A and B are shown apart, each in its own frame.
Chain A
Amino acid sequence: MSAITGLILAAEDEETDRFILNLAFERAAVPASVVMVNDGAECVDYLRGNGRFADRALHPLPTLLLLDLKMPRMHGFEVLEWLGTQPELKDLPAVVLSSSSDESDIQKARRLGARDYFVKPQSLDDLVGILHQVYERWMR
Chain B
Amino acid sequence: MLTRKQVLAPRSAWGRYSVGSGCVVLGWLAREALTPAVGPTALPFIFFFPAVAMAAWVGGLGPGILALVLSAVAANWFFVAPTRDWALHTPGDLATMGSFAFSCSFILSAIDAMHRARARILAEVRKREAAELETHQQKELLATTLASIGDAVISTDTAGHIVFLNAEAAALTGWKNSEAEKRPLSEVFHIINEKTRQPVESPVEKVLQSGTVMGLANHTLLIAKDGREIPIDDSAAPIRQPDGPLFGVVLVFRDVTAQRKSQEIAARLAAIVEHSGDVILTKDLNGIIRSWNASAERLFGYRAEEIIGKPITVLFPPDRLEEENHILGSLRRGKPVERFQTIRVTKSGRQVPVAVSISPLKDQEGELIGASKVVHDITELVAAREALTREKELLATTLASIGDAVVVTDAEGCVTFLNGEAERLTKWTSTEALGKPLPEIFRIINEETRRPVENPVEKVLRIGGVVGLANHTILRAKDGTQTPIDDSAAPIRHANGQLLGVVLVFRDFTERRQAEKELREAHGQLADRAGHLEKLVRERTARLQDVVNELQHVSYAMAHDMRAPLRAMSTFASLLAEESPNGIAPSRAQEYTRRIIVAAKRLDKLIQDALNYTKVAQQEIQLGPVDLSKLVRDLIDTYPNFHSDKADIHIANELPVVLGNDSLLTQCFSNLIGNAVKFVAPGVKPRVRLSAETSDGTARISIQDNGIGIPKGAQARLFQMFQKLNAGYEGTGIGLAIVRKVVERMRGKVGVESEPEAGSTFWVELSLADGPKTTKWVNR
Contacts and interface: CB of A to CB of B under 8 A. Distances in A.
B725 A73 contact: yes
A41 interface: yes
B116 to A, nearest CB: 185
B601 to A, nearest CB: 12
Contact of A16 (B568, B575, B711): B568
B530 interface: no
A15 to B, nearest CB: 8
Interface string A63-88: 00000001111100010000000000
- Using C-beta atoms within 8 Å of the partner chain, give the interface range for chain B: 20 to 34
A14 B564 contact: yes
A122 B570 contact: yes
B564 A99 contact: yes
Interface in B685-730: 711, 713-714, 723-727
A101 interface: yes
Nearest to B727: A13
Given A39-B727, A72-B727, A74-B713, A100 B560 contact: yes
B148 to A, nearest CB: 137
Contact of A99 (B559, B714, B724, B726): B559
A100 B559 CA distance: 7
Contacts of A100: 556, 559-560
Given A72-B726, A73-B725, A74-B713, A16 B564 contact: yes
B568 A17 contact: yes
A19 B595 contact: yes
Interface in A20-49: 20, 23, 38-39, 41
B714 A73 contact: yes
B571 A99 contact: no
Interface residues of A, number: 27
Majority secondary structure, B binding face = helix
A15 B594 CA distance: 13
B574 A17 contact: no
Contacts, number: 66
Residue from A38, A72, A100, A123 having most chain B Cβ neighbours under 10 A = A72
B563 interface: yes
Contacts of B560: 70, 98-100
A12 B567 CA distance: 15
Nearest to A121: B567
Nearest to A14: B564
Contacts of B568: 16-17, 20
A70 B723 CA distance: 8
B117 to A, nearest CB: 183
Interface string A108-140: 000000000000111110000000000000000
A99 B713 contact: no
B718 to A, nearest CB: 11
B559 A102 contact: yes
Residue from B575, B599, B711, B727 having most chain A Cβ neighbours under 10 A = B727
B388 interface: no
Given A19-B595, A99-B564, A102-B556, A124 B725 contact: no
B412 to A, nearest CB: 85
A14 B599 CA distance: 11
Contacts of A74: 711, 713-714
B727 A41 contact: no
B598 interface: yes
Contacts of A123: 570-571, 574
Given A13-B727, A20-B568, A102-B559, 15 more contacts: A13-B724, A16-B598, A70-B561, A72-B723, A73-B711, A73-B714, A74-B713, A99-B563, A99-B567, A100-B556, A100-B559, A100-B560, A120-B563, A120-B564, A122-B571
Interface of B: 556, 559-561, 563-568, 570-571, 574-575, 595, 598-599, 711, 713-714, 723-727
Interface of A: 13-17, 19-20, 23, 38-39, 41, 70-74, 78, 98-102, 120-124
